[in-house]
């Protein structure tokens, strides 16, 4: 019986590591296409004539600290005023309503359309859908409340609608408050890999990419042809992206067009955002994966679509690997597993090495001073991987709920405008998250993996020591920052 349990745990460990390894191969392939795309650098295009009618949509919900900054930035968009309409899609229930109405009075020459809803039906997707019914633009640009679009944004994106078959152009997010704290640095580290490596790599080879919810421009006809905005997932942007591309619409990703935005500064807000993204991604996987596999697409498109749709499932794999490694270590230490099988298990760690390489490249290529950025990346990388694994329990729950069809409301990520001094974190009215039970389990797992590090040293069994050391650090940091951030809202 003990041997059966030992091999069962080893099987679970190997299954999880196999998933991570296959995912890493997809990431490595995207890195290769990113490097190929880098050889064909193109300068920013600029629209100089034939200005189409454009509607800019600004979905808002209780954005007391950032909404004025947003309105000021879109009012500075360099575009003919007779061809520009700005919809403020306001679902707010606090004083944001009055702030908006007073602010737009400062720009009498700008065509602001204020649309206020009282029921929030469909949340962000519902607001965008209702606004689209009244939009007069042939093209729809969308910005969340924490973004500050550059004045030339429309002039830089619209030239890429070079054919009638192009349905969406996405820009690259940059970060207003990256240097604020370790947490914001780690988020930037993760997002840069997505926006530099993944989006570029997929787009370069004609695979499906996604509209990132903001910082992009849609052809209105594409949105309508794909079935308009749906509110049956928490990631309406990913859902519409797949419906449009499955119908044959082409997307364009331009990393040289930047859209500055704010990063959540506290763990409770990060967790809220992560939960929505990971659960929504899993919901879209359940909704679209089968159709993508059945439809006539090239193998590379199907392969990367599966890696894309199921990428959040890696958190379930990491959680399984983490927990099963406890038993595998103990069984191996007791001689119930042969040394050869443990060495084979270690081979799969190459998957983590490939994933680490992707993040290193994204950080280095983003910066101008390559040698300095490489050193910074080497320092940040193990911390980032540790915290990502420390979020495994929280995000695995979100993925499981998404795959199994459990529904939950859309909870927006609060914005603070800390760089502009508009708000403070202590007793902030938007930090109303309740601490979930999983936070206490994160603390428990921190203690478990700290104990495993101690046992490894005492028993001179170092097979999983680096892995367990990162898990101990990751769960400890996630627990402490979670506990502190939930306390801020009290």
What is the average per-residue pLDDT within 278-288? 97
Examine the pLDDT at 52 and tell me if it is beyond 90. yes
What band does 192 get if pLDDT is binned at 50, 70 and 90?
Answer: very high
- Work out the number of other CB atoms within 10 angstroms of the CB of residue 408: 12
Q: What is the CA radius of gyration of the chain?
A: 23
**Active-site choice (91, 146, 192, 239):** 91
What is the average per-residue pLDDT within 64-84? 96
Examine the pLDDT at 421 and tell me if it is beyond 60. no
Alpha-carbon span 267 to 379, nearest angstrom: 21
Token pair 């270690």 is at which residue? 346
Is 119 tagged catalytic? no
The alpha-helical segments, DSSP class H, found in 158-234 are: 182-192, 199-204, 220-225
pTM value is 0.94
Examine the pLDDT at 427 and tell me if it is beyond 80. no
What is the reported pLDDT for 442?
A: 97
What is the reported pLDDT for 111?
A: 97
Sort 91 into a burial class: Cβ within 10 Å, 0-12 / 13-18 / 19+.
buried
What band does 411 get if pLDDT is binned at 50, 70 and 90?
Answer: confident
Alpha-carbon span 9 to 2, nearest angstrom: 11
What is the average per-residue pLDDT within 451-472? 93
What is the reported pLDDT for 374?
A: 80
- Work out the number of other CB atoms within 10 angstroms of the CB of residue 105: 9
**Active-site choice (144, 192, 237, 239):** 237
Alpha-carbon span 147 to 53, nearest angstrom: 22
- Rounded (10°) angle between helices 465-488 and 314-333: 130
What is the reported pLDDT for 425?
A: 67
The pLDDT tens digits for 4-44 are 888 888 889 989 988 999 999 999 999 999 999 988 777 78
Alpha-carbon span 399 to 391, nearest angstrom: 12
What band does 417 get if pLDDT is binned at 50, 70 and 90?
Answer: confident
What is the reported pLDDT for 10?
A: 85
The pLDDT tens digits for 134-180 are 999 999 999 999 999 999 999 999 999 999 999 999 999 999 999 99
Token pair 């720009």 is at which residue? 107
The pLDDT tens digits for 367-393 are 665 666 788 888 999 999 999 999 999
What is the reported pLDDT for 342?
A: 67
What is the reported pLDDT for 313?
A: 96
Residues with Cβ within 8 Å of 222's Cβ and at least 6 positions away in sequence, in order, are 167, 168, 244, 249
What is the reported pLDDT for 462?
A: 85
Is 237 tagged catalytic? yes
Alpha-carbon span 254 to 67, nearest angstrom: 26
Lowest mean pLDDT, pick from 28-42, 250-264, 341-355: 341-355
Beta-strand pair 84-90/54-60: parallel
What is the reported pLDDT for 346?
A: 64
């Amino acid at each position: 019986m003990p041997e059966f349990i030992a091999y069962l745990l080893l099987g679970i460990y190997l299954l999880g590591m196999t998933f991570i390894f296959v995912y890493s191969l997809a990431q490595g392939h995207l890195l290769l296409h990113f490097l190929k795309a880098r050889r064909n650098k193109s300068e920013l295009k600029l629209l100089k004539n034939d200005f189409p009618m454009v509607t800019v949509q600004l979905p808002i919900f209780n954005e007391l600290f950032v909404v004025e900054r947003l309105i000021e930035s879109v009012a500075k968009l360099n575009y003919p005023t007779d061809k520009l309409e700005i919809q403020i899609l306001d679902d707010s229930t606090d004083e944001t309503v009055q702030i908006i109405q007073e602010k737009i009075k400062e720009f009498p020459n700008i065509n602001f359309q204020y649309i206020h809803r009282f029921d929030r039906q469909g949340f962000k997707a519902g607001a965008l859908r209702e606004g689209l019914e009244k939009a007069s633009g042939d093209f729809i640009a969308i910005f969340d409340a924490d973004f500050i679009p550059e004045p030339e944004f429309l002039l830089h994106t619209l030239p890429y609608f070079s054919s009638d078959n192009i349905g969406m152009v996405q820009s690259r997010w940059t970060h207003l408050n990256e240097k604020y704290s370790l947490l914001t640095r780690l988020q930037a580290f993760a997002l840069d890999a997505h926006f530099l490596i993944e989006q570029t790599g997929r787009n370069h080879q004609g695979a499906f990419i996604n509209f990132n919810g903001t910082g992009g421009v849609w052809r209105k006809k594409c949105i309508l042809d794909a079935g308009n905005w749906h509110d049956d997932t928490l990631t309406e942007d990913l859902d519409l992206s797949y419906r449009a591309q499955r119908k044959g619409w082409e997307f364009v990703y331009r990393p040289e067009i930047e859209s500055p935005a704010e990063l959540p500064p506290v763990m409770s807000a990060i967790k809220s955002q992560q939960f929505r993204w990971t659960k929504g991604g899993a919901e879209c996987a359940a909704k679209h994966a089968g159709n993508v596999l059945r439809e006539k697409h090239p193998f590379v498109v199907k392969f990367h679509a599966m890696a894309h749709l199921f990428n959040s499932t890696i958190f379930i794999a990491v959680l399984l690997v983490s927990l099963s490694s406890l038993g595998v270590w103990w069984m191996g230490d007791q001689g119930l597993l042969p040394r050869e099988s443990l060495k084979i298990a270690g081979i799969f760690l190459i998957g983590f090495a490939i994933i680490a390489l992707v993040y290193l490249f994204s950080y280095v290529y983003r910066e101008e001073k390559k040698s300095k950025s490489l050193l910074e990346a080497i320092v940040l990388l193990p911390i980032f991987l540790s915290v990502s694994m420390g979020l495994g329990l929280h995000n695995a729950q979100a993925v499981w709920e998404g795959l199994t069809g459990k529904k939950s409301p859309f909870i927006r990520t609060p914005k603070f405008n800390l760089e502009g001094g508009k708000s403070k974190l202590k007793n902030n009215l938007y930090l109303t998250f309740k601490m979930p039970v999983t936070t206490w389990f994160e603390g428990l797992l921190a203690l478990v993996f700290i104990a495993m590090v101690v046992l490894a040293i005492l028993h001179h069994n170092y097979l999983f020591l680096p892995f367990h050391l990162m898990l101990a650090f990751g769960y400890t940091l996630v627990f402490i920052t979670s506990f502190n951030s939930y306390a801020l809202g009290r």
